[in-house]
Amino acid sequence: MVSYGVRMDQPFLIRHISADRLDDLEPLWKALHSHHLAVAGHLEALSPSLSPEASWINRRAKYETWLASPDAFLLAAEADADADADHEIVGYAMARVQEQRPGSWDRAAKTGVLESLSVRADQRGGGVGTRLFEAVRAEFVKRGAREFQLDVIAGNTDAVRFYTRQGLVPYVTTLLGRS
């Protein structure tokens, strides 16, 4: 087990967890899904949103697939700093490293991809998201990823502000339409 940045003034621990704890993430994913629907209502005109249950089933399957690879990892912020026991998860980050071929820019051969970062609503503003993000970044460095990327749903201005404060810059804008 690797832990990141445990401080006595913050009663949570960031650590790697395995696929056997995926079900513990369900409420956090469903809350993130609901947040996406709230901030990106304009996408409903393109296609109907999934129920929270269907969204979780799909996301859980993706997590299982990604975690089957040694290039993926799952970090959790647990509510208690006791490193010897499993505790309630108050935030998590799912990430992986992938090979990257250069396009218009000379990008790194390995790129870290932050697939999900969710923090329980009552824990936001207390540093959980920042510490998870810092731990993901450190893990990317450890795995040889010189750069990393993530997607933010259109309309999620709080997330854009958070990631901009972490030093990220816009790279690609994805537009969707019906054919």
Phi, psi of 15 (to 5 degrees): -150, 160
Mean pLDDT score, 111-133:
94
Give the model's pLDDT for residue 179. Answer: 87
Give the model's pLDDT for residue 60. Answer: 98
Of the candidates 49, 62, 79, the residue with the CA atom closest to the CA atom of residue 22: 62
Instruction: Copy the structure tokens of residue 71.
Output: 């290039």
Mean pLDDT score, 7-13:
61
pLDDT at 86 exceeding the cut of 60: yes
Is the pTM value of this prediction over 0.85? yes
Which ranges of 40-168 would DSSP assign to H, the alpha helix? 52-67, 128-142, 157-165
Question: Crossing angle, helix 26-39 and helix 52-67, to 10 degrees?
Answer: 120
31-64 pLDDT tens trace = 999 999 999 999 999 999 999 999 999 999 999 9
For 76, other C-beta atoms within 10 Å of its C-beta total 26
**Distance (Å, rounded) from C-alpha 174 to C-alpha 153?**
10
For residues 19 and 124, the model is more confident at: 19
Amino acid code (one letter) for 20: D
Measured over the CA atoms of residue 94, residue 100, residue 103 and residue 105, the dihedral's sign is positive
Mean pLDDT score, 146-159:
93
